[in-house]
Every structure is written in structure tokens, then in C-alpha cells.
Amino acid sequence: MSEKKLLGDERRDWILHTLKSRGIPITGGDLAKESRVSRQVIVSDITLLKAKGEPIIATSQGYLYLNPKEGAHHEKTVACQHAPDRAEEELNLLVDHGVTVKDVKIEHGVYGDLTASIMVSNRKEVKQFLTKIRSTNAAFLSELTDGVHLHTLSATTSEALSEAENALERAGFLIRSL
Ligand SMILES: [Zn+2]
């Protein structure tokens, strides 16, 4: 980064390039520090980039650029229900099957469908996600719905998704149809 502050479009180009080239989540605070602006400016920049259709998502570990070219991914949505104290077990079970947990969705009484990015693919990321939730006293979205929620899962094969779903079933995480 040069000495001078980057302005507007130049800074947004830099953000986009940085997210794409590093390929890992980067926090708003780090982007702010490196480009010498406030975190609030970064939040606005990211919002503008998203409005232009850039596939950037905010995860608990920071902003992530979702590279659409990264292999063909199979996706599946599963309906789960569990108490907050089983979140780690559920997420670990999924990532152990080679599955990425992309998000959690719930139906909220006021806002309708709410989605939050999770984006965990291994136990280390699960741990980081849960540590962040605990350290900020953030609630799990599913606490608003008595533990009922959906997860979007992705994997490189459809077999991995089926196996993960079977494991969820055996461990009692899937909602059973009444
Ligand atoms: Zn869950």
C-alpha cells in the first residue's frame, strides 16, 4: 500500500483485488488499516461492491470473495433442529464429511426469511466461528426459532452431501416430518 490514501473507485478496486487474490476472509478492520480509512468507509465500499453484483459475503472471519470458478459445487439445503449447545457437534459432523456449511436460515416473525453466512469447511473454521459468537455474546439465529433452521451445504460431490445428511439424521439433527 502506498503512502497516500486511496480514493473512491481506486480504493474499491483495491479491496476487490485484495479479496480475490488472498482468497481467505479479511476483516473490515484489516482492510481499513491497510487502506488508511475508517472501518465504516470499508463497510460502505463493500455495500457498493455487493450492489454491483460482486460475490462478496461477510462471514464471522471477515469478508470473503466467492470465486465462482472454484470447481463445480453441489448444493443441498437441510432442515435441522437442535439446542445451541449442540451447534459445535452439528457443524463438526458436517465438515468432517467434506461439506462446507455456507449459511443458516431461519424464519423471523418480523423480517421473514433471515440468512447469515457461516462458511466453515473444517474444524478450525468451526472453532473460530463459535469463538467469535461466544466472545461477542451474539446469539445463534436459531435461538429465535426454538432451534429450527435451514443450512445450505456445498460439496464437490453429491455423495458427500448424501452421507452428511444421513449422518445428521442418525445424530438426531434433522427435523422429522410429522
Ligand atoms: Zn445448525
Alpha carbon of 19 to ligand 1 centroid (Å): 27
Higher pLDDT, 143 or 38: 38
Annotated binding residue at 74? no
For 87-109, how does the pLDDT look when each residue is reduced to its tens digit (9 = 90+)?
999 999 999 999 999 999 998 88
Annotated binding residue at 149? yes
Annotated binding residue at 82? yes
Q: What is the pLDDT of residue 100?
A: 94
Annotated binding residue at 108? no
Alpha carbon of 44 to ligand 1 centroid (Å): 30
Alpha carbon of 169 to ligand 1 centroid (Å): 13
> Which amino acid makes up residue 80?
C
Q: What is the pLDDT of residue 141?
A: 77
Alpha carbon of 59 to ligand 1 centroid (Å): 16
170 has a pLDDT exceeding 60: yes
For 43-61, how does the pLDDT look when each residue is reduced to its tens digit (9 = 90+)?
999 999 998 889 998 887 8
Alpha carbon of 125 to ligand 1 centroid (Å): 15
Higher pLDDT, 81 or 142: 81
Alpha carbon of 47 to ligand 1 centroid (Å): 27
Alpha carbon of 21 to ligand 1 centroid (Å): 30
For 105-143, how does the pLDDT look when each residue is reduced to its tens digit (9 = 90+)?
998 888 888 898 899 999 999 999 999 888 887 777 777
167 has a pLDDT exceeding 70: yes
Domains of the chain: 8-65 (1.10.10.10), 74-177 (3.30.1340.20)
